[in-house]
């Protein structure tokens, strides 16, 4: 049911500098930049690696869900995104196991739907489930 790591989210205060460092150090290149996807308060860069990608995220507004979490946690690894075939089934399954999972909603990447497993249910890790259509 939980197929693969789709992407890893890394929070940064300076997406231009972070993008430059990932390219200089490891040769990972940003192939896509998205500004305020879905009306959110953040900038995003996508750096493909193997069958997955790194998603750099910089908050550009003081408010919003991501901005608050970012203030608490600062720069660094932020969450992992795991691909599932059937998001509704995966959410139902995990809730049945006692995990706290948010309701599915559209993801920032076209054609995707996502839900989040609470950090308290996943040993401190913010896990996003993603379904691609």
Residues that bind other proteins (CB under 8 A): 1-5, 8, 10, 12-14, 17-18, 21-22, 24-28, 49-52, 74-80, 82-83, 94, 97, 99, 119, 121-126
Q: Mind giving me the DSSP string for 82-106?
A: EEES-HHHHHHHHHHTT--BPPPEE
**Host H or E run for residue 11:** strand 2-11
Q: Residue 16 or residue 34: which is nearer to other proteins going by CB?
A: 16
Q: 53 and 46 in contact (C-beta within 8 Å)?
A: yes
Q: By C-beta, is 40 or 79 nearer to other proteins? A: 79
If the CB atoms of residues 71 and 106 are measured against other proteins, the closer one turns out to be 71
Tokens representing 13? Answer: 């205060």
To the nearest whole angstrom, how small is the minimum distance from the Cβ of residue 36 to other proteins? 21
């Amino acid at each position: 049911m939980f197929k693969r790591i789709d992407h890893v989210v890394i929070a940064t205060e300076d997406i231009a500098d972070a993008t430059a460092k990932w390219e200089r150090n490891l040769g990972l290149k940003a192939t896509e930049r998205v500004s305020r996807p879905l009306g959110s308060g953040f900038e995003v860069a996508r750096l493909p690696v193997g069958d997955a990608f790194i998603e750099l995220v910089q908050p550009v507004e003081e408010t919003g869900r991501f901005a608050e979490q970012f203030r608490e946690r600062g720069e660094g690894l932020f969450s992992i995104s795991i691909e599932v075939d059937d998001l509704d089934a995966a959410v139902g399954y995990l809730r049945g196991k006692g995990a706290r999972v948010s309701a599915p909603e559209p993801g920032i990447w076209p054609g995707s739907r996502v839900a989040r497993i609470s950090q308290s249910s996943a040993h401190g890790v913010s896990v996003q489930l993603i379904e691609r259509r």
